[in-house]
């Protein structure tokens, strides 16, 4: 279940506290990356928390912030039809 998230901006970074299921986690992202997460979630008809939960489930050993940034880049690369790099 998605819960409300808190956002704070410190020194050019967005800090978000999100609840994924029963777990609370914090992420730090550049504001432009957070805006992209919001845009992608809206495009897919999801909340930001739902999208982050999906990314969390498929991130493997990556840190969450890295996995989110990678997801955003891959999403937009697919939109301009660039092949993924190895």
2, 19 contact by CB (below 8 A): yes
Percent of all residues in the chain with a pLDDT value above 90, rounded to a whole number:
42
Between CA 9 and CA 31 the distance in angstroms is: 8
What would the pLDDT profile of 53-67 be if each residue is shown by its tens digit?
A: 999 888 889 889 999
Which pLDDT belongs to residue 2?
A: 42
What would the pLDDT profile of 30-47 be if each residue is shown by its tens digit?
A: 999 999 999 999 999 999
Give the structural domain span for 15: 6-79
Residue 40 included in any domain: yes
Instruction: Decide if pLDDT at 4 tops 50.
Output: no
Q: Residue 73 is part of a domain; what is its CATH number?
A: 1.10.3990.20
Residue 86 included in any domain: no
**How many domains does the structure of the chain reveal?**
1
Instruction: Decide if pLDDT at 1 tops 60.
Output: no
Residue 1 included in any domain: no
Residue 16 included in any domain: yes
Residue 75 included in any domain: yes
Residue 62 included in any domain: yes
Between CA 71 and CA 23 the distance in angstroms is: 21
Determine if the pTM surpasses 0.85.
Answer: no
Candidates 12, 6, 42, 11; CA nearest to 26 is: 6
């Amino acid at each position: 279940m998605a819960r409300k998230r808190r956002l704070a901006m410190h020194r050019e970074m967005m800090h978000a506290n999100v609840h994924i299921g029963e777990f609370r986690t914090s992420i730090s992202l550049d504001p432009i990356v957070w805006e992209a997460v919001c845009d992608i979630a809206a495009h897919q008809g999801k909340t930001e928390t739902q999208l982050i939960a999906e990314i969390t489930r498929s991130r493997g050993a990556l840190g969450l912030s890295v996995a989110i940034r990678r997801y955003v880049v891959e999403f937009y690369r697919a939109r301009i039809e660039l092949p993924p790099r190895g």
